[in-house]
Amino acid sequence: MRKYVIAGNWKMNMTPDQTKTLIDGIKAELFASELKAEVVICPPFIDLAAAVEACKDTKIKVGAQNVHWAEKGAFTGEISADMLKAVGAEYVIIGHSERRQYFGETDITVNQRVKAAIAAGLKVILCVGELLEEREQGITAEIVAKQTKIALMGVTAEQMKDVIIAYEPVWAIGTGKTASSEQADEVCEIIRNVVATLYCGKTAEELTIQYGGSMNAANAAELLSMPNVDGGLIGGASLKSADFAVIVKAVR
């Protein structure tokens, strides 16, 4: 039995006060429902403390959107894994395509961040996914395999218990263009097979693989019904408590 995980990636949205309001709204929506999925909320760094406070005494977990690989030092503007742990974050998103596209993130720095996060005791949501040109060129499988293999260099089978992979086709992020459930399932299965070759069948079977990219209240149930889709990484729709709750409840 794989764990379903629904994570909200708030990106660069919300102040600490707004964080409290939105989480209170999510709690109200989910109140009294038996959660079939782990729920994770990933606000900006500056909101983490408010999010941890708002999620106290609930099952909702809090995650960050990035982490630096060094323990500490002269890295202006960066945040370490120990700092995230100290504020109460349990998860961290690593390798999001917006980091890769706009902030020069590479497969190698993604790997460094993944190793540092796991070593500090954080759970990782590792993002992989192809560009539209890559899909059109027919190289989606090669691209996600390469991203996955490099990101997991030096990560042991034991440590894979702390890793979730999010398949996020870049052309579907924030565009309103969702991958079809078949497309999502196909690539999630490719990723699962890559993990099976890197580790073993059991590690691959137990791995939670999310789909992300314009997942919303209307399409979540169908995407989440696919055999290789074990959750979602939700951007836009995670900023509305009612929509996010519908997605969480779509897990059966």
Let me know how long the chain is: 252
Measured distance CA(245)–CA(143) in Å, rounded: 32
Question: For the chain, what is the largest distance between any 2 Cα atoms, rounded to a whole number of angstroms?
Answer: 48
Count of other CB atoms within 10 angstroms of residue 20:
16
For the chain, state the CA radius of gyration. Answer: 17
Nearer to ligand PGA, 52 or 223 (CB): 223
- Candidate ranges 57-65, 113-121, 166-174, 189-197; the one touching ligand PGA (CB under 6 A): 166-174
Based on the shown chain and the rule CB under 6 A, indicate whether residue 116 belongs to the binding site for ligand PGA. no
Site for ligand PGA in 222-251 (CB under 6 A): 233-237
> CA separation (Å) from 142 to 1, 20, 138, 148, 174?
28, 41, 9, 10, 24
Based on the shown chain and the rule CB under 6 A, indicate whether residue 9 belongs to the binding site for ligand PGA. yes
| H or E element at residue 37 | none
Tell me, what DSSP letter sits at residue 63? E
Nearer to ligand PGA, 194 or 235 (CB): 235
Based on the shown chain and the rule CB under 6 A, indicate whether residue 168 belongs to the binding site for ligand PGA. yes
Nearer to ligand PGA, 203 or 245 (CB): 245
State the number of CA atoms in the 13 A half-sphere of 189 facing the CB.
9
User: Whose CA is closest to 171, among 118, 214, 227, 225?
Assistant: 214
Instruction: Please confirm, yes or no, whether 96 is among the known catalytic residues.
Output: yes
Selected from 212, 228, 249, 251, the binder of ligand PGA by CB under 6 A is: 212
Based on the shown chain and the rule CB under 6 A, indicate whether residue 219 belongs to the binding site for ligand PGA. no
Within 8 A by CB and 6+ apart from 30, the residues are: 39, 60, 245, 248, 249
Minimum gap (Å) between residue 84 Cβ and ligand PGA: 18
> Of 29, 38, 96, 98, which is the active-site residue?
96
DSSP string, 100-125: HHHS---HHHHHHHHHHHHHTT-EEE
Nearer to ligand PGA, 175 or 225 (CB): 175
Instruction: Please confirm, yes or no, whether 168 is among the known catalytic residues.
Output: yes
Based on the shown chain and the rule CB under 6 A, indicate whether residue 209 belongs to the binding site for ligand PGA. no
Q: How many residues bind ligand PGA (CB under 6 A)?
A: 13
Nearer to ligand PGA, 160 or 166 (CB): 166
Task: Give the binding site for ligand PGA (CB under 6 A).
Answer: 9, 168, 173-174, 212-215, 233-237
Active site residues: 96, 168
